[in-house]
């Protein structure tokens, strides 16, 4: 139990941020997996576009590092390019 009012508020905001980050991280992982599991190039391109948007949002909000987002975008793009 917090002994200061500011600590109590900080606990509440931290819990909200943690819940939001967990949801966003889950959405990000699902988007990456959706691209990797596609076998048709046309569907993989659609999934890639969605994944790129989610990666950019995650990097701008600080959920992941911007270089991590760039690396994932690059790897997924090359993966989709190799599909027949």
In this predicted model, what pLDDT tens digit does every residue of 30-70 receive, in sequence order?
999 999 999 999 999 999 999 999 999 999 999 999 999 99
pLDDT value for 80:
97
Q: Are 54 and 68 within 8 A, CB to CB?
A: no
Residue 1 binned pLDDT confidence (cut-offs 50, 70, 90): confident
Residue 84 has pLDDT above 90, yes or no: no
- pLDDT surpassing 90 at residue 79: yes
Q: What angle do helix axes 5-36 and 66-82 make, rounded to 10 degrees?
A: 20
SS3 content of the chain, % helix, strand, coil (to 5): 85, 0, 15
Q: How confident is the prediction for the chain on average, in pLDDT?
A: 96
């Amino acid at each position: 139990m917090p002994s200061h009012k500011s600590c109590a508020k900080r606990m509440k905001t931290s819990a909200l941020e943690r819940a939001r980050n967990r949801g966003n991280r889950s959405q990000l992982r699902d988007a990456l997996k959706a691209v990797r599991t596609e076998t048709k190039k046309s569907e993989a391109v659609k999934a890639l576009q969605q994944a790129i948007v989610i990666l950019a949002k995650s990097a701008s909000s600080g959920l992941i590092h911007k270089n991590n987002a760039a690396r994932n975008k690059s790897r997924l793009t090359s993966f989709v390019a190799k599909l027949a």
